[in-house]
């Protein structure tokens, strides 16, 4: 039983280390001013997918894509109106 808990602890530590190394590499390679977003975007994306699966609701990215598609089909009042000009 002791061996199993040690293996699990080592696997968890390796996973956390891989996350930290990956986020650090992404932050270093990103453009200046975009480092935090580049480093944390995969983690936030995984949280969003977890929330979608857990709650059954659409995530933010899907909602934004849908609203853009609706806006392209049905323009809003603030869009240029050729009949008014």
The predicted pLDDT at position 11 comes to 97
Residue 6 confidence (pLDDT): 95
- This prediction has a pTM of 0.58
What pLDDT, on the 0 to 100 scale, is given for residue 73?
78
Phi/psi for 63 (5° steps) reads -65, -40
Distance, CA of 45 to CA of 49 (rounded, Å): 6
Q: What is the pLDDT of residue 82?
A: 59
Report domain extents, the chain.
Answer: 2-73
Q: Low-confidence residues of the chain, pLDDT below 50?
A: none
**Length of the chain counted residue by residue:** 85
């Amino acid at each position: 039983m002791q061996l199993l808990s040690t293996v699990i602890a080592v696997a968890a530590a390796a996973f956390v280390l891989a996350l930290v190394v990956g986020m650090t590499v992404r932050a270093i390679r990103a453009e200046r001013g975009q480092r935090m977003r580049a480093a944390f975007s995969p983690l936030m994306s995984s949280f969003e997918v977890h929330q979608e699966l857990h709650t059954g609701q659409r995530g933010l990215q899907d909602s934004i894509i849908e609203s853009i598609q609706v806006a392209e089909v049905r323009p809003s009042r603030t869009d240029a109106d050729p009949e008014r000009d």
